[in-house]
Amino acid sequence: MQREVGLVVRSRIDRLEDVLKREAILSTIKVDYILPIAEPPAWPQNLGFLLRVLESRGFQTLPQFMPAFQQAASAQNLPPLTGDVVVLDLENAHIDDEQRDRIIRWVAEKVPFQRSTLVAYTTGRHQAINELPAAGHYCVGANSPLSLVGHAVNAAYIADVVKQG
């Protein structure tokens, strides 16, 4: 009986250690949180909420306002992004639907190919979100705050595997 209890306790300790290791990964992942607009005088309320939730999960995020991503020539002149996970927030940037596909592609060009993941926060369907993974990019669309946080966590796990080689 004592041996069986010991095995159950050991199994639960191993499971807890696995959970703690997975959670620790999030604090080691660099997140670029991109809004393709000039910084507004006041941040949208939803943006503050999203950042708090991401930080509560262990991410260190600071939004980067990058209006250069609204024009092809300006976007091409930007340096590559350095985050392990790049969150492109088109919802809080209030970008028109017809511009979203272009901006997603322009940002994807700055995300290190197969070394970083792109999470595009946008409602609706966008062809770029379907085409980029087919071309080998690590990209996913998030259409709500809940799916954004979930996809960011999953993207972090993928980025960690890529970093490990």
Domain coordinates of the chain in residue numbers? 29-164
Residue 8 has pLDDT above 80, yes or no: no
Q: Which of the residue ranges 10-24, 37-51, 134-148 has the most confident prediction, judged by mean pLDDT?
A: 134-148
Residue 2 has pLDDT above 80, yes or no: no
Q: Is 118 helix (H, G, I), strand (E, B) or coil?
A: strand
Strand 117-121 and strand 85-89: pairing?
parallel
Cβ atoms < 10 Å from Cβ of 134: 8
What is the rounded CA–CA span in Å between residue 160 and residue 155?
9
Residues 6+ apart with CB under 8 A from 89: 33, 34, 35, 47, 50, 63, 121
Pick the CATH number of 29-164 from 3.40.50.10950, 3.40.50.620, 3.10.290.10, 3.40.50.2300: 3.40.50.2300
Residue 100 has pLDDT above 90, yes or no: yes
Contact of 151 with 142, CB cutoff 8 Å: yes
What is the rounded CA–CA span in Å between residue 77 and residue 83?
18
Give the single-character DSSP code of 52: H
The pLDDT assigned to 91 comes to: 95
Banded pLDDT at 4 (limits 50, 70, 90): confident
Q: How far is CA 91 from the centre of its chain?
A: 14
Range 21-41 average pLDDT = 89
What is the rounded CA–CA span in Å between residue 65 and residue 82?
15
Q: Is 147 left (phi over 0), alpha (psi -120 to 50) or beta?
A: alpha
Residue 51 has pLDDT above 90, yes or no: yes
Share of the chain above pLDDT 90, in %: 68
Banded pLDDT at 98 (limits 50, 70, 90): confident
Residue with the bigger pLDDT between 8 and 107: it is: 107
What is the rounded CA–CA span in Å between residue 138 and residue 162?
11
The pLDDT assigned to 22 comes to: 74
Q: Is 65 helix (H, G, I), strand (E, B) or coil?
A: strand
The pLDDT assigned to 43 comes to: 86
